[in-house]
């Protein structure tokens, strides 16, 4: 059998990881601190990238995804409840944009005026300016 690459995992199964996640959550609630991905990694004793690598493992996927979703839910609720600019940041990360789309319903704007007389062109300009 081939030698595995890298160090052995700190957590042998999802139950061990879940115990650590529950302890981190209790710590946060007791200390009234906000959860963070970096804090999660620090508290579990693994690097953030290692945490993301654990998430790729089917055994740990649901456990980590559920906890990360809880962290995101907390961010969202805090942003909404505090009426901060954080909600704008969150919405942009979810694909929302703050651009305004304008639809021009005037089909005659691009009318060819090259064959109009000077007076007809001026009348057309006046007509367009008065449609505001």
Reading the block at residue 66, the tokens are: 């559920």
Strand, coil or helix: 57 = coil
Does residue 45 lie within any of the structural domains? Answer: yes
User: Where do we find the tokens 């007809």?
Assistant: 120
**Number of domains the chain contains:** 1
- Global pTM value: 0.60
Share of the chain above pLDDT 90, in %: 31
* Token pair 């740990």 in the structure block, residue: 60
Residue 100 lies in a domain: no
Distance between CA atoms of residues 82 and 84, nearest Å: 5
In the predicted model, is pLDDT for residue 71 greater than 80? yes
The Cα–Cα gap between 46 and 84 comes to 31
Residue 20 within a domain: yes
Measured CA to CA, the distance from residue 64 to residue 72 in angstroms comes to: 12
State the average pLDDT over residues 25-51.
92
128 in a structural domain: no
In a domain, 113, yes or no: no
């Amino acid at each position: 059998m081939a030698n595995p690459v890298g160090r052995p995992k700190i957590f042998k199964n999802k139950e061990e990881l879940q115990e650590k996640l529950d302890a981190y959550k209790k710590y946060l609630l007791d200390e009234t601190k906000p959860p963070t991905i970096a804090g999660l990694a620090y508290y579990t004793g693994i690097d953030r990238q290692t945490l993301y690598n654990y998430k790729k493992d089917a055994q740990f996927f649901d456990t980590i995804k559920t906890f990360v979703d809880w962290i995101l839910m907390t961010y969202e609720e805090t942003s909404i409840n505090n009426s901060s600019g954080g909600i704008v940041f969150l919405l942009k990360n979810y694909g929302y944009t703050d651009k305004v789309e304008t639809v021009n319903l005037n089909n005659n704007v691009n009318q060819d005026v090259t064959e109009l007389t000077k007076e007809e062109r001026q009348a057309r300009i006046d007509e367009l300016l008065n449609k505001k």
